[in-house]
Amino acid sequence: HILNANHAASRTFELPLNLLVRKNLLDFLDHDDEKVQRVFAEFRIKGEIRDELTFHMPNGQDKQLEFTMKQGAIDGYHLTIFRNVTERRKMERELRESEQKFRSIFDHSMNGILLWGEGYHILDVNPIACEIFQATKEQLLHRPITAFIPEKERKHFYKLAQQCDRLGEAYAEMDFSNGGKQKIVEFSLKKEIIPGVGMIMLRDITERKEMELQLRKSDTLNVVGELAAGIAHEIRNPMTALKGFIQLLQGSIKEDYSMYFNVIMSELKRIESIITEFLVLAKPQAIQYQQNDVCKIMQDTIDLISAQATMHNVQIVADFAPHIPFIYCEPNQLKQVFINILKNAIEVMPKGGEVTVRINRLDDSHIRISITDQGCGIPQDKIKKLGQPFYTTKERGTGLGLMVSYKIIEEHQGKIDVESEVDVGTTFHITLPIERVEKEDEHETGIQHI
């Protein structure tokens, strides 16, 4: 029982002194609480204790009280000194919850987050940042960020750090490509989120960059398609007249000049083939997509081009996986794509070699066709330009063949990816869906325009 108390105790227990001294200390506690029982048992054994318990006040309020109890401290009576730590414990609890929330947000963020201290040494990183840097947290911590930046981008990062020191923040995109695999990372630097600690937000924007490139290509294709229609028709009419008159004149010209006529006719045919490719880009063609055997389409194409391959001492090796499903496609258009890529493969091997054609099932909904040559390869900076209007790596090329191929595959809801290594060779990967997703205009007309 409480025999005496001071005014501070009265305020703590929310009772006037005359009422407080009639109370038993256990009236403010849960008798059945395991901790309460343990504390008083220990007090009885040791004669003193310092601990903390939750006390229930008469007004219904709970308070966290820190206390020191000692047996027989004053004239044989027990002495207890209380200190109200409710607010402190509340703040500590809120701080823990805040830290847990921060840690949860930090660890589960869709972006990479890196905290850095003096000298851009890494203080903390989340899993996405580890993934971007391709290192474990243990490998990253306490190391300078520059140790994990590709050497070709370090000078760029130093400039970025200087800008951040000067302005408090900085932004840049960096090329983390490695081993032929493209990777573009967005860096956002903040100088001080708290004193002595800066932050870097990291985002892998490779897919976004590829989509932007595809959109630019698509826009360019549309513009070229519109121009092509007018240009091709305007050129084709006088071309037909020129060709006809030259054929008429050829019979009446001396044999000494026949070589010149042959060159003229050859070049006119070349111009005519370019115009035809222009028209493929420009002219809407009514196409009915049906289920077809892509392996048969490819084999027919190989048979068609095998004579040209033999003339160039090139062997075409077909490696088709078993049970490749039929796909919805237009066979003649796919054949055109295969011819374009196979012809390119043959032409880049003037000393001969081997072209490998593989067809595999990529997943439940796609197949992949891979055409690999042993040519001189294409530098990485030029790969991204393939399929652009008039961009070609060949001396007498126009770039229209690949441009048409990209457009046909795009209309088949597929994509073309290129892997290449200089002096080793190039692989064109064509990914096509097994089932075709109908667009609204296709559903209405049953016709797809290219």
For 18-75, what is each residue's pLDDT tens digit? 888 888 888 898 888 889 989 889 888 888 889 999 999 988 889 999 999 888 767 6
Q: How far is CA 190 from CA 202, 226, 228, 338, 373, in A?
A: 12, 47, 49, 50, 47
Domain covering 7-90, topology: Beta-Lactamase (3.30.450)
**Amino acid at site 157:** F
Secondary structure of 368-397 in the HEC alphabet?
A: EEEEECCCCCCCHHHHCCCCCCCCCCCCCC
Is the separation of the CB atoms in 225 and 411 below 8 Å? Answer: no
336-351 pLDDT tens trace: 899 889 988 998 898 8
Residue 187: burial class (beta carbons within 10 Å; 0-12, 13-18, 19+): buried
CATH number of the 103-208 domain = 3.30.450.20
Is the separation of the CB atoms in 291 and 277 below 8 Å? Answer: no
Domains 7-90 and 103-208 belong to one CATH topology: yes
pLDDT of residue 446: 38
Q: Provide, for the chain, the percentages of residues in helix, strand and coil under a 3-state DSSP scheme, each rounded to the nearest 5.
A: 50, 25, 25
Domain boundaries, the chain: 7-90, 103-208, 214-281, 290-433
Q: Which of 184, 206, 214 is nearest to 387 (CA)?
A: 214
369-402 pLDDT tens trace: 999 999 988 887 777 767 655 545 555 444 567 8
pLDDT bucket at 201, cuts 50 / 70 / 90? very high
Q: How far is CA 133 from CA 108, 144, 148, 178, in A?
A: 17, 13, 6, 12
Predicted model pTM: 0.44
- Nearest-angstrom CA–CA distance, 379 and 423: 10
- Nearest-angstrom CA–CA distance, 124 and 106: 10
Residue 404: burial class (beta carbons within 10 Å; 0-12, 13-18, 19+): buried
Is the separation of the CB atoms in 317 and 355 below 8 Å? Answer: yes
* Alpha helices, DSSP H, located in 47-153: 86-108, 127-133, 137-140
Is the separation of the CB atoms in 121 and 142 below 8 Å? Answer: yes
State in words which class domain 290-433 has.
Answer: alpha beta
CATH number of the 214-281 domain = 1.10.287
Distance from the Cα of residue 79 to its chain's centroid: 67
- Nearest-angstrom CA–CA distance, 115 and 246: 75
pLDDT of residue 444: 39
What is the pLDDT averaged over residues 82-109?
Answer: 86
- The answer, yes or no, to whether residue 150 has pLDDT greater than 70, is yes
